Structure 1
Amino acid sequence: MSKIIINFSDSTSLTLTNDDTLTTLSKIDNVAVDTTTKDKDVFPKVPSISQVLKLHEHHHDGLIPSLLEIVINYDFFMLNDDNKKVYCSNAIVSIESI
């Protein structure tokens, strides 16, 4: 089983395996149409769950290419089985195969 360690700028780390699934978040245009939703002028973009993606193993490079596909295309992600913490792709300092 392949594993990777993601090191973040705040010195925390996250270990992932090819069994892990990540939920990606993206920014979409705020299409508020009534007064009960957020004001479009204040919040022109709002977060939206985008994709649920399973990490897959590359035959030579392990899980790094799979993770890079996610962090290059999405600003934020969270573990599919733990949606209480959101990770910022731009805060990644290094990714290491173990």
Structure 2
Amino acid sequence: MDSQALNARCVELFQNPNVRLRMWNARMFWKVGDQFNVSSDKLTDPKVDLCELEVMLATAALTESQCAAELDKKEPGRAAFIQRQTREGMRPLLRAATH
């Protein structure tokens, strides 16, 4: 999945009601300047690794991740760690985005 499609998936997952219950602010994951209530079309410049973000958001949304296998190829066990932390109500520290 290319980075634009992956970002679009993350933005879509971020809108999921189960994710919204976590009360995460978009500023935690995307560069949005000093804005607090940002519309989804402004979420284009990620602060964190999009693959890791997709795994975290998919877990919070109670849906299947499309990046977990790819992430585990790069670093075995990383996806399971992110999923476990998210299921336990924590927000795992995600790696910074590489541009």
Query: Which of the pair is proportionally richer in helix?
Result: 2
Query: Which of the pair is proportionally richer in strand?
Result: 1
Specify the structure having the higher radius of gyration (Cα): 1
- Same fold? TM cut 0.5: no
* TM-score, reference length from structure 1: 0.26
